[in-house]
A = this chain, B = another copy of it.
Amino acid sequence: MVGNIAVTEKLSELIVNSRPEADPQVMAAARSGVLDYLTSTIAGGKDQEGNSLLELFSSDTYNPNLVKVIGINRYADFQHAALLNGYLGHVLDYDDVHSSSRGHPSTVILPALFAISKTKNVSALDFLAAYVIGVETMCRLGLAIGASHYESGWHNTATLGAIAATAACVRLLNLNSDAVNCALGLAAAQSSGLRAQFGSDGKPLQAGLAARTAVFTSMLTAKGFEAASNGLDGKTGFFAAYGSDKTIVSNLTKDWGNPWQIVDPGLWFKSYPCCSASHHAIDAVFALISEHQLHELENDQIANIEAIFPPGGDTALVVTNPQNGIEGKFSLEYVIATALIDGKVGIKQFSKQNIEPRVKTLMNRINRRYDEKIEPLSIAIPPGRFTIVTITLKNGATYSKRVDRPHGAAGDPLTIKELHRKFLDADTDGHFAHVPDLVSEMETHEDLVRLITSL
């Protein structure tokens, strides 16, 4: 309870009555989020032939009751379109992250919104506003429930995402606050997802299931199904079960929209489709290339490369000797070598293709080292992290670069131009070249339908 008002009720009022569409900066941030989600999803849809999830729950035959699976020629019912578009958005781990939520908001919220957008005569601006409300809900759930939720094994993307995406959907469907209150409780009662699935296909599946929960719950509530009100409150509600004694329930609604979480601290859009723990090193290599004209180097001029981390700073980079691009996503050695040789770290660099011999040769000259004496900067993202890359040439020359916060992270976001370039890199065959402009400009219901039907 917050004062005498249950927090679920208070949240419902905010979901129904907030007007983020009035703020151009907020709407611009939402358009960037939509574009970046579509980038990740279109990239994720490549090479999915034979995936049992797609085979079971989608079809290559269109009928008007089905919704498009983004980026591939398949269709699914409302619920499973949300599931599959959530799965594909997260399958490469290329989608946005928000620090307040300790998870990936857009790959849960947007697939749910896309699935239900044709059912109502809503405008593209309504769609963007509902998305902002969803991100705000997810971030505030994260700020309320605290770090212990993630630490206990929960996968915030899925657990908090299910409730947040439901908030977005009921907002888009224009339900009243009593119905929203009930929908939030039902979504909380379906909240699930465990970090035990990290490193497996279960991880993106959990994002998709959370999106499905939102579609199921909002459809059911819109049809008049009634359930308990105030399902986040009390001794048998969401925070009691999923929280800890460090949970601060009032954070759910305190300073709501002031500023909007999608703007400040904002979504982190990834620059590279690989483990975020490797992004510092990649940024360092590109800085060295540009500052010292290293692209003119011949491969065999490099004597060795050293990467220095704080102790544990490379824990996620578990692969030292990858055999193909997919394994390379979690390899420091691969991303450094391929950045130097290709001058690019994009979708193509992480395909199923075997790694070229000249990349392997360079990988063998890379070493990792840990230095607990170097202080991380206060701007470091994640906190306490940095990477220093030092390249030594056979002629004795040495070039070194330190990165504490990769480009794209909060405080140093990707520019619109960079987001467009990222999209073009993912849209390898140019099928979706119209999408960036449409996302930047869409306003009406017709614009929204044009976007959805062209994905």
Interface residues on A, range: 35 or more
Contact across chains for B200 and A53 when beta carbons are under 8 A apart:
no
Say yes or no: is A453 at the interface (Cβ < 8 Å to chain B). Answer: no
Say yes or no: is A374 at the interface (Cβ < 8 Å to chain B). Answer: no
* Per-residue contact bits, chain A 182-219, to B (CB 8 Å; 1 contact, 0 not): 00011011111111111111100110010000000001
* Cα–Cα, bound, A196→B55 (Å): 36
Q: A233's closest neighbor in chain B, by CB?
A: B196
* Further pairs besides A189-B202, A198-B228, A202-B228: 20, Cβ < 8 Å: A56-B223, A152-B240, A152-B241, A153-B235, A153-B240, A185-B196, A185-B197, A186-B197, A189-B206, A191-B192, A196-B230, A196-B231, A196-B236, A196-B237, A196-B238, A197-B227, A197-B228, A199-B228, A200-B228, A201-B225
Q: Choose from B52, B209, B226 the contact partner of A190 (Cβ within 8 Å).
A: B209
User: Contacts of A200 on B, CB cut-off 8 Å?
Assistant: 226-228
Say yes or no: is A220 at the interface (Cβ < 8 Å to chain B). Answer: yes
Contact across chains for A196 and B52 when beta carbons are under 8 A apart:
no
How many copies of this protein are present in the complex? 2
* Cα–Cα, bound, A209→B226 (Å): 16
Q: A209's closest neighbor in chain B, by CB?
A: B190
* Cα–Cα, bound, A202→B220 (Å): 11
User: Contacts of A237 on B, CB cut-off 8 Å?
Assistant: 153, 194, 196
User: Contacts of A224 on B, CB cut-off 8 Å?
Assistant: 52
Q: Which of A66-93 contact B (CB under 8 A)?
A: none
- Min Cβ gap A183→B in Å is 11
* Cα–Cα, bound, A236→B156 (Å): 12
Q: Choose from B55, B193, B238, B240 the contact partner of A189 (Cβ within 8 Å).
A: B193
* Cα–Cα, bound, A219→B55 (Å): 11
Say yes or no: is A432 at the interface (Cβ < 8 Å to chain B). Answer: no
Say yes or no: is A154 at the interface (Cβ < 8 Å to chain B). Answer: yes
* Cα–Cα, bound, A76→B191 (Å): 24
Q: Decide yes or no: A194 and B189 within 8 Å by CB, A52-B223, A152-B240, A223-B56 being known contacts.
A: yes
Q: Choose from B193, B220, B234 the contact partner of A53 (Cβ within 8 Å).
A: B220
Contact across chains for A227 and B241 when beta carbons are under 8 A apart:
no
Contact across chains for A236 and B188 when beta carbons are under 8 A apart:
no
* Per-residue contact bits, chain A 232-257, to B (CB 8 Å; 1 contact, 0 not): 01111110110000000000000000
Contact across chains for B193 and A154 when beta carbons are under 8 A apart:
no
User: Contacts of A53 on B, CB cut-off 8 Å?
Assistant: 220, 225
* Cα–Cα, bound, A227→B198 (Å): 9
Q: Which of A53, A202, A240 has the most CB of B within 10 A?
A: A202
Contact across chains for B195 and A192 when beta carbons are under 8 A apart:
no
Contact across chains for B227 and A201 when beta carbons are under 8 A apart:
yes
